[in-house]
Structure 1
Amino acid sequence: MSKKLIIAEKPSVAADIARALGNFTKETDYFENDEYVLSSAVGHLLELAVPEDYEVKRGKWSFDHLPVIPPYFDLNPIEKTATRLKLLIKLIKRKDVDTLINACDAGREGELIFRYIIRHAGTKKPIKRLWLQSMTPTAIREAFSKLLDDSEVQSLAEAATSRSESDWLVGINGTRAMTAFNSQEGGFHKTTVGRVQTPTLAILVEREEVIKKFVPKDYWEIHATFSTDNNHYKGKWFDEKFSKDKENSEARAERIWDQGKADAIKIRCQSKPGIVSEESKPAKETCPLLYDLTSLQRDANSRFGFSAKTTLGLAQTLYEKHKVLTYPRTDSRALPEDYIATVKDTLHSLDKTQYGVFARQVLDSDWVKLNKRIFNNTKISDHFAIIPTSLEPKKLNEIETKLYDLVTKRFLAIFYPAAEFLVTTRITRVEGEPFKTEGRIMINAGWQTVYGKSLINDNSSDGIVLPAINADKPVITEEIKVIPNQTRPPARFNESTLLSAMEGAGKLVEDEELRAAMSAKGLGTPATRAAIIEGLVSENYLQRIGRELHPTAKAFSLITLLRGLKIPELISPELTGDWEFKLRQIEQGKLKREMFMTKIAEMTKHIVEQAKNHRGKTISGDFAILKVPCPKCGGVIHETYKKFQCQQCDFALWKILAGRQFEVGEMETLISQGEVGPLQGFRSKMGRLFNANIKLTDTFEMKFEFGGNDTEEADAIDFSNQPSLGRCPKCSSPVYEHGLYYVCEKAVGVTHTCNFKTGKIILNRSIEHEQITKLLQTGKTDLLTKFISKKGRPFSAYLVIGKEGKIEFEFEQKASKGKTANSDESKTSLPSSKKKEA
């Protein structure tokens, strides 16, 4: 009897399919029943490789062997998942398997995972496509009843392969070419670039350049307080003739650039009567569109500080594990036009939850109707908007609950009517000078009811209610102030604003309808943007400082190089957005894959040729002048592309040491103090990351200083010039800063009698002096954030002194059973008993 082989993307999805279809027997890493064999990949199992005949064994990073544009690509098994690949190949080749069902994630990457497996297996067996929008058992069974023919997703497969191969060509050739250029004078300075990653970085660098060059300008505002019979209200002076000035983006109607003018208006208007006129107009505010992945990531970052990667992971868990959200990797913000019945079923299921009052209101008011803003087939690509499913959420943790709540409230609110306001504009004229006052009163909360707004609490907090006036009686200018101020530079990007800029191909578009229209030419896709940001962080092109993203010296150096080499393809968001648009056209069958790949090959050749042609040439750029004098002659030190060079003598220091590039501030500290650190991100010749202090020797060379080794000094260290940070928890001797560590004074030197020391950097997080002092005094630090686990995950913990004086982690106590994830108890900082040695 013949059978069909189902291949899912992950083991958890395979298990869900087995439960939904039923009657499966569990074998080793696969399931089987009378009709199906069911197994899964574990993400990507194969990666692109240059065919043996075309790959260079030695000198890969040399210009002599670039560009690398093979006529075709081989596929190499990924070593850590090779066993799973062998199992799938064995199942594919079973004689009783006559049909293959692609049940990988319903999108470009899922298609690619499956296609590579089939290509590697060399099979010609017929293929069907399972297209899942939801992981509920009902949705799975319904999708199996509507399997797609392989021909229906052929263009998606071509787009997926094109994306993979184009990223390889640009990434490998660009990285090797830039590395070869930067390594001309010796050493190996790996310089990674990417088709989407580098233009994204350019957005951040350009913003940082604007901030650095920004010169604040003084301006003044005039604020007045007016009194009526029994009340007061405030007004702000404005220029009635103001119109936007393209050449002066900082101009505003209320800004005065001459203090003398502002003071003159104040003197003229002080204590004078004012004549009032006002106009009231109704205004409406509609609920924002349903979430796609990018808009969900933006909101989660703005409200909760979640990174794009965290939000994607949570949404995927809520989809796969808990099955309470629909497919998250979507760029659509609408629902299918035939989805009204499903929406009503979901609302009925929400009726039994904490959202019941809102779900009942929507159902009882019959608000679920064919509305093109919500139900629109033309606004749907592979997937529709993210909404809750009909399953009730159970056992969600605190952050899963937050994300589920965000999606569910938006789903409910979209069906409510618009919020209605009465907006009043009052103009008070004093001696002919106009002062504007605006008030907004909510008339109908509409969709904002779902978010806790009401007529009562809005008008008492957010709403501005203007006191009544007597039209026949003037008001008195009770107080008038001239408020000095300065213009401010544009804000640095956080993940929310960067995602918005990526979606708009480098343009920060506030209007969500317009942004959605531009998203086809955005940088990357909703499914890949989180990984792009994380890649920039992991390559040390970006640092997270609070919620802001700061480009590093390495980032500026790369963009300076690409500008100098005249390679706009790698730094222009618009050009890269156009490539993404062409990939979308391939998906839609409007563009041939061969045409796209020809253009990518031309782009790759141009990148390499530009790097080759500029060998030995100076790369100009907007470089810094250091604030500290040359330690050798007292001259001025200039930053160049590769060095920090004195302009009066031969003193120079390389900007890159052991694969790590120095920030200007770090170099200034090294030159002025003779030492800087500990610094992270150095890489040994074996490729291992390490931390170190850097010292400037008497001969003005940089030297690694590790310190803290038990037997590194023959004599005791002299700590007499240092303040003690506290008492050693093992022997009560003083603890001092030493090299990369905080150490007991009895723990260094040959005759050491104690072994207490703890790193200044623990799991990629610098430990401040103040926290070590608190640890030694009280046995516990404050709650410290941004530790990075060995699996690359950020976490927060206390450092505590454990048994025998060892430093350990102690984690926050989570909400206990029976408490909601958002209860006050879950927000306390009570320590749990769960500890781990730091």
Structure 2
Amino acid sequence: MGKKLIIAEKPSVAADIAKALGGLTKHDDYFENDEYVVSSAIGHLLELACPEEYEVKRGKWSFTHLPVIPPHFALRPIEKTESRLKLLTKLIKRKDVDALINACDAGREGELIFNYIAQHSKTAKPIQRLWLQSMTQQAIRDGFTRLRSGADMSGLADAAVCRSESDWLVGINGTRAMTAFNSKTGGFHLTTVGRVQTPTLAIVVEREKKIREFKPRPYWEVEASFAVQAGEYAGKWIDENFKGKEDGEARDEHARADRIWDQAKAEAIRAACVGQVGEVSEESKPETRLSPLLFDLTSLQREANARFGFSAKNTLGLAQALYEKHKVLTYPRTDSRYLPEDYLGTVKATLSMLTGEGAGKGHDEVLLSRYAPFAHQVLARNWVVPNKRIFNNAKVSDHFAIIPTTQAPKNLSEPEQKLYDFVVKRFLAVFFPAAEYQVTTRITRVASHPFKTEGKVLVHPGWLAVYGKEGQEGEEGNLPKVEAKEKAATEEVNIKATETRPPPRYSEATLLSAMEGAGKMVEDEELKAAMAGRGLGTPATRAQIIENLIAEQYMLREGRELIPTAKAFSLLTLLNGLGVNELTAPELTGEWEWKLGRIEKGEMSRQEFMQEIAEMTRLIVERAKTYDSDTIPGDFGILKAPCPKCGGLVRETYKKFQCSDCDFALWKIVAGRQFEPEEIETLLTERTIGPLTGFRNKMGRPFAASMKLNDKHETEFDFGQGSASDEANAEPVDFSGQESLGKCPKCASPVYEHGASYVCEKSVGPSKSCDFRSGKIILLQPIERGQMQKLLQDGRTDLLKEFVSSRTRRKFSAFLVVGPEGKVGFEFEKREPKAPKAGAKKAAPKKKAAATEEAG
């Protein structure tokens, strides 16, 4: 009887399988006994390649050679892991090996990794599939008792190959076509596109457009403070006739019941209510809140980003380590938030482990002690019962929700412990009853004007008990009691003036949600219904899509914000101008992902899908070919300012602002920043503009500068600091038309605005005798004229909150202060030290940050 060769995805998994089977001897890169040979890949070992006769080298990328749609694909070994491929090929071809077992990760990519290895080796030996959801020793042994046949996996295998080949076709042809288009005027301008990454980028760019185009609208709120015998409470005026979308004014997305768009109306309400008494009525009713569902990968990534600032990629890496290395979590690359209906026994065993009983030696006792009371409670009260919110076969596909395994945690790193704790608490909470509140809505009517107050009291914490204070933060307290027929005295009535705000930029958390729910963005109701459950990419690929967009410099990660670059705007302008909607519309790409799911289920053939992809590829290339110049359709106009060279009309095009009558032209993107038409008009009219933020140097670091036109009508950066020779030869600066901002901290001479800086009048010109100068923008924080006046008069500005560290790129708040020798520096806000926990060792005192750290 021959042996079976088991191929895992990674060496660590191969070692776990060998240990679970027992009795195998370790050789260099494989294990063996009389029944099995166990080895592994190292992730992907092969990649798709165009057959040699169809390949076109990078320097020859042009429309002449496009589209590239080969009749078949070749497989090319990945150079750095080629030795492992040779080993596996040798093992597959061994005469004593008569069958293979695919033990790669349970999903589309794991299927692809194994099938490419089998295809490369040209084997005809029978194949079985080991499908693991958990990496505990018992789960591995159980998996071998229910091996699947290769035929059972044919749908998943076809979908995996279709995904790989379709991404190659669209990515290679789209990238080459757009690169060829952008390189027509010279050079090589690599412009990458992708079947999933480009629609994802379109979502981010569309949000950024809304932010840039946003016009704030002022509104007012009227707030009052009321006193009754039992105490004081606050209320806010509301429009009781506000009907949401049915109301004409409420069609504005910013309309709310408590917003007043007319200041005079707000003043009239205040005048009518000051000093009056209010009649109080209230309604109190119970409210329940169920625990959130168990985690799938996307929800875990989203919430870990919001809570800990973990990137989607980091969360996936940590979850994979907790599954693969520590064996304490189930398979993380899942899109299900439910468990199989026959999983009640496993859940009870897991809860038993979380009590600490039978957890084995060496486990993390401190960590388990957090969970023991709640795990005991769930088991003692028999809360693990059939429940469709938790156990639901209809909502479990190949994978189920991410939960802890029966393996006790030990030796987890701090980030791993955070994520494990996150998953365990969600797991425990889902079995607890709902949280119960008593919600009171109070209306205080003053001179016929209603003021609303809400109180929310937690009556029974239910599942919130698992989270302790952390889960109950932000809950509103109880209201002071009002006796029957008691009047409320109106103590104060204040008007709060504010304005509407633009939508926030995407973070990884919100972008993951947008990718997952891409179908919800579709306006057509019928198509929206058809796309329910479809999105951009899969839970396993979304993190890498975001990382790819950052690596290709289409997006920047600033703190938790994702900011599209000028390159991103340029790409979307190009694709929209060419009418290549297939690469920009989320719903179309969501359709492809849905069809891949149909292939997995055997509802669509591989041939049918690939024919559609090939046709889409031809259309993309054909549309790009139809434009002979670098000017593509777009929302472009004519500038009001004339050409500085000949007085002709200056038109905006895809790449430039170009004079119609001469060769004068300005590039739209300079140092990673895209100029708006209004900014170019200012530059042409005044020959200078700025200082402006948003520029990036070659290292990707942000900087601010002014732009000016020189004598040759070419643009130059102006950093407000001329050379010594320039200063020596410069004419005296005339400040007679300006009002001084204050006295120079170095020499007491007047300080004025000058270019991109605030300067001492004696620090410019040929007779320079002082060097005081402070930028109008410091670390991307604009320093307004009023703040500079305050700095010069008081030695300190207000707290400024938009500084961006040039090293970490994180935002921080600080005061600007005048330090020793008249230099401007930072002073950081003082924070009260946290009270030490009982029994904690007293930390060594930290040195106070220098109050005058130079602001540079």
Taking structure 2 as the reference length, the TM-score comes to 0.77
Contact 1:276 1:471 (8 Å CA) reproduced: no
Q: Structure 1 residues 16, 695: closer, same or farther in 2, change over 3 A?
A: farther
* 3-state SS, counterpart of residue 521 of structure 1: coil
Q: Which of 640, 645, 656 is the aligned partner of 1:643?
A: 656
In the TM superposition, what is the alpha-carbon distance from 1:393 to its structure 2 partner?
Answer: 1.3
* 3-state SS, counterpart of residue 493 of structure 2: strand
* 3-state SS, counterpart of residue 118 of structure 1: helix
Does 2:258 correspond to 1:257? no
Contact 1:630 1:636 (8 Å CA) reproduced: yes
Contact 1:504 1:518 (8 Å CA) reproduced: no
Q: Structure 1 residues 178, 362: closer, same or farther in 2, change over 3 A?
A: same
- Rounded to whole Å, the distance in 1 between the matches of 2:452 and 2:131 is 56
In the TM superposition, what is the alpha-carbon distance from 1:627 to its structure 2 partner?
Answer: 13
- Rounded to whole Å, the distance in 1 between the matches of 2:530 and 2:479 is 39
In the TM superposition, what is the alpha-carbon distance from 1:211 to its structure 2 partner?
Answer: 0.9
Unaligned runs of 5+ in 2: 357-367, 523-527, 730-778, 782-803, 811-836, 848-856
Matches within 5 A, 1:31-180: 31-57=31-57, 60-180=60-180
Q: Which of 333, 341, 347 is the aligned partner of 2:345?
A: 341
Contact 2:443 2:451 (8 Å CA) reproduced: yes
Q: Which residue of 1 aligns with 2:463?
A: 447
Q: Which residue of 1 aligns with 2:238?
A: 238
The letter of the residue matching 1:11 is: P
- Rounded to whole Å, the distance in 2 between the matches of 1:275 and 1:129 is 73
Contact 1:262 1:482 (8 Å CA) reproduced: yes
In the TM superposition, what is the alpha-carbon distance from 1:81 to its structure 2 partner?
Answer: 1.2
- Rounded to whole Å, the distance in 2 between the matches of 1:17 and 1:393 is 20
Q: Which of 558, 563, 567 is the aligned partner of 1:550?
A: 563
- Rounded to whole Å, the distance in 1 between the matches of 2:577 and 2:609 is 27
Contact 1:200 1:502 (8 Å CA) reproduced: yes
Q: Which residue of 2 aligns with 1:762?
A: none
The letter of the residue matching 1:426 is: R
Does 2:502 correspond to 1:489? yes
Q: Which of 301, 304, 307 is the aligned partner of 1:297?
A: 301
Q: Which residue of 1 aligns with 2:435?
A: 419
Q: Which of 500, 512, 533 is the aligned partner of 1:520?
A: 533
Q: Structure 1 residues 636, 673: closer, same or farther in 2, change over 3 A?
A: farther
* 3-state SS, counterpart of residue 251 of structure 2: coil
The letter of the residue matching 1:377 is: N
- Rounded to whole Å, the distance in 2 between the matches of 1:41 and 1:824 is 48
In the TM superposition, what is the alpha-carbon distance from 1:826 to its structure 2 partner?
Answer: 11
- Rounded to whole Å, the distance in 2 between the matches of 1:16 and 1:164 is 29
- Rounded to whole Å, the distance in 1 between the matches of 2:111 and 2:562 is 32
- Rounded to whole Å, the distance in 2 between the matches of 1:115 and 1:215 is 55
Matches within 5 A, 1:616-635: 616=629, 618-622=631-635
Contact 1:61 1:180 (8 Å CA) reproduced: yes
- Rounded to whole Å, the distance in 1 between the matches of 2:805 and 2:252 is 45
Contact 2:436 2:461 (8 Å CA) reproduced: yes
- Rounded to whole Å, the distance in 2 between the matches of 1:462 and 1:17 is 48
Q: Which residue of 1 aligns with 2:333?
A: 329
Q: Which residue of 2 aligns with 1:532?
A: 545
Q: Structure 1 residues 517, 130: closer, same or farther in 2, change over 3 A?
A: farther
Contact 2:669 2:675 (8 Å CA) reproduced: no
The letter of the residue matching 1:63 is: F
Q: Which residue of 2 aligns with 1:319?
A: 323
* 3-state SS, counterpart of residue 480 of structure 1: strand
Q: Structure 1 residues 61, 547: closer, same or farther in 2, change over 3 A?
A: same
Contact 1:315 1:403 (8 Å CA) reproduced: yes
* 3-state SS, counterpart of residue 20 of structure 1: helix
- Rounded to whole Å, the distance in 2 between the matches of 1:786 and 1:275 is 55
Matches within 5 A, 1:399-410: 399-410=415-426
**Superposition CA RMSD, Å:** 3.8
Contact 1:631 1:671 (8 Å CA) reproduced: no
* 3-state SS, counterpart of residue 510 of structure 2: helix
The superposition leaves residues 73-111 of structure 1 with CA deviations (integer Å, 9 ceiling, x where unpaired) of 111111111111111111100000001000000000000
Does 2:410 correspond to 1:394? yes
Does 2:354 correspond to 1:350? yes
In the TM superposition, what is the alpha-carbon distance from 1:151 to its structure 2 partner?
Answer: 1.3
The superposition leaves residues 497-525 of structure 1 with CA deviations (integer Å, 9 ceiling, x where unpaired) of 0000000016479xxxxx99967310000
Unaligned runs of 5+ in 1: 510-514, 684-688, 706-714, 722-765, 769-781, 789-819, 831-838
Q: Structure 1 residues 672, 271: closer, same or farther in 2, change over 3 A?
A: closer
In the TM superposition, what is the alpha-carbon distance from 1:645 to its structure 2 partner?
Answer: 4.0
Q: Which of 611, 620, 625 is the aligned partner of 2:624?
A: 611
Q: Structure 1 residues 439, 57: closer, same or farther in 2, change over 3 A?
A: closer
- Rounded to whole Å, the distance in 2 between the matches of 1:527 and 1:508 is 22
Matches within 5 A, 1:423-434: 423-434=439-450
- Rounded to whole Å, the distance in 2 between the matches of 1:562 and 1:474 is 65
Q: Structure 1 residues 447, 678: closer, same or farther in 2, change over 3 A?
A: closer
In the TM superposition, what is the alpha-carbon distance from 1:676 to its structure 2 partner?
Answer: 11
* 3-state SS, counterpart of residue 123 of structure 1: coil
- Rounded to whole Å, the distance in 2 between the matches of 1:606 and 1:373 is 45
Task: Select between 51-60 and 195-204 the one with higher mean Cα deviation.
Answer: 51-60
In the TM superposition, what is the alpha-carbon distance from 1:598 to its structure 2 partner?
Answer: 1.2
The letter of the residue matching 1:302 is: A
In the TM superposition, what is the alpha-carbon distance from 1:21 to its structure 2 partner?
Answer: 1.4
In the TM superposition, what is the alpha-carbon distance from 1:474 to its structure 2 partner?
Answer: 1.5
Q: Which of 565, 577, 587 is the aligned partner of 2:600?
A: 587
- Rounded to whole Å, the distance in 2 between the matches of 1:451 and 1:221 is 35
* 3-state SS, counterpart of residue 415 of structure 1: coil
The superposition leaves residues 763-802 of structure 1 with CA deviations (integer Å, 9 ceiling, x where unpaired) of xxx999xxxxxxxxxxxxx9986599xxxxxxxxxxxxxx
Contact 2:296 2:402 (8 Å CA) reproduced: yes
Contact 2:222 2:493 (8 Å CA) reproduced: yes
Q: Which residue of 2 aligns with 1:754?
A: none
- Rounded to whole Å, the distance in 1 between the matches of 2:529 and 2:16 is 33
- Rounded to whole Å, the distance in 2 between the matches of 1:71 and 1:827 is 70
Contact 1:500 1:508 (8 Å CA) reproduced: no
Q: Which residue of 2 aligns with 1:810?
A: none
The superposition leaves residues 20-59 of structure 1 with CA deviations (integer Å, 9 ceiling, x where unpaired) of 1122211121111111111111111111112223333586
- Rounded to whole Å, the distance in 2 between the matches of 1:222 and 1:547 is 34
Q: Structure 1 residues 562, 517: closer, same or farther in 2, change over 3 A?
A: closer
In the TM superposition, what is the alpha-carbon distance from 1:314 to its structure 2 partner?
Answer: 0.5
- Rounded to whole Å, the distance in 1 between the matches of 2:584 and 2:841 is 47
Contact 2:200 2:536 (8 Å CA) reproduced: yes
- Rounded to whole Å, the distance in 1 between the matches of 2:213 and 2:8 is 52
Q: Which of 555, 559, 566 is the aligned partner of 2:572?
A: 559
Identity %: 62
Q: Structure 1 residues 252, 234: closer, same or farther in 2, change over 3 A?
A: same
Matches within 5 A, 1:804-823: none
Q: Which residue of 2 aligns with 1:370?
A: 386
* 3-state SS, counterpart of residue 574 of structure 1: helix
Contact 2:673 2:695 (8 Å CA) reproduced: no
Contact 2:224 2:493 (8 Å CA) reproduced: yes
Contact 1:333 1:386 (8 Å CA) reproduced: yes
Q: Structure 1 residues 351, 227: closer, same or farther in 2, change over 3 A?
A: same
- Rounded to whole Å, the distance in 2 between the matches of 1:824 and 1:561 is 61
Q: Structure 1 residues 117, 442: closer, same or farther in 2, change over 3 A?
A: same
Contact 2:230 2:482 (8 Å CA) reproduced: no
- Rounded to whole Å, the distance in 1 between the matches of 2:843 and 2:107 is 37
Q: Which residue of 2 aligns with 1:309?
A: 313
The superposition leaves residues 183-208 of structure 1 with CA deviations (integer Å, 9 ceiling, x where unpaired) of 11111111100000000000001111
In the TM superposition, what is the alpha-carbon distance from 1:162 to its structure 2 partner?
Answer: 0.6
Contact 2:520 2:532 (8 Å CA) reproduced: no
* 3-state SS, counterpart of residue 242 of structure 1: coil
Task: Select between 252-261 and 638-647 the one with higher mean Cα deviation.
Answer: 638-647
Q: Structure 1 residues 172, 261: closer, same or farther in 2, change over 3 A?
A: same
The superposition leaves residues 5-28 of structure 1 with CA deviations (integer Å, 9 ceiling, x where unpaired) of 011111111111112112221112
